[in-house]
């Protein structure tokens, strides 16, 4: 199972106020509707459905994007993201990954359907 790994803001992940992550150093290989593991360091905290993956320049991040990622505003988010990723150019493309916590017990049937639909024509 694919995963998103976090190294800070564990409390916000657990209380559900962090529902987005802004990633600038890789192109995410997630499909909307896919269920992934949300990890803090190497511990699986919960599973989540990928709601959306949206490319945006760092300079285009909004206050709303920043708040869903656990920041106070876009300025704080940009400063932290640039420092963490050693980014100097605000025009760099990033990906805003939005996710929604799910209970794996409730998904068995829908997961089977998701994978059957995704892979039925793959041979």
Contact 80, 7 (CB under 8 A): no
Reported as a single tens digit per residue, the pLDDT across 15-42 is: 999 999 999 988 899 999 999 999 999 8
Instruction: Give this prediction's pTM.
Output: 0.81
Nearest to 95 by CA among 52, 57, 61, 55: 55
Contact between residue 45 and residue 74 where contact means Cβ atoms under 8 Å apart: no
The parent domain of residue 19 ranges over 3-119
CATH number at residue 108: 3.10.400.10
Q: What is the pLDDT of residues 65-80, one digit of tens each?
A: 999 999 999 999 999 9
Please count the structural domains in the chain: 1
The rounded radius of gyration (Å) of the Cα atoms in the chain is: 15
């Amino acid at each position: 199972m694919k995963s998103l790994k976090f190294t800070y803001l564990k409390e916000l992940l657990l209380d559900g106020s962090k529902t987005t992550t802004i990633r600038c150093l890789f192109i995410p290989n997630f499909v909307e509707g896919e269920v992934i593991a949300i990890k803090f360091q190497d511990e699986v905290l919960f599973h989540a459905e990928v709601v959306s993956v949206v490319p945006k320049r760092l300079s285009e991040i909004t206050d709303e994007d920043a708040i869903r990622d656990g920041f106070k505003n876009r300025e704080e988010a940009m400063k932290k993201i640039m420092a963490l990723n050693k980014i100097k150019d605000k025009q760099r493309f990033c990906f805003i990954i939005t996710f929604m916590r799910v209970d794996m017990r409730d998904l068995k049937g829908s997961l089977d359907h998701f994978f059957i639909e995704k892979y039925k024509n793959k041979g």
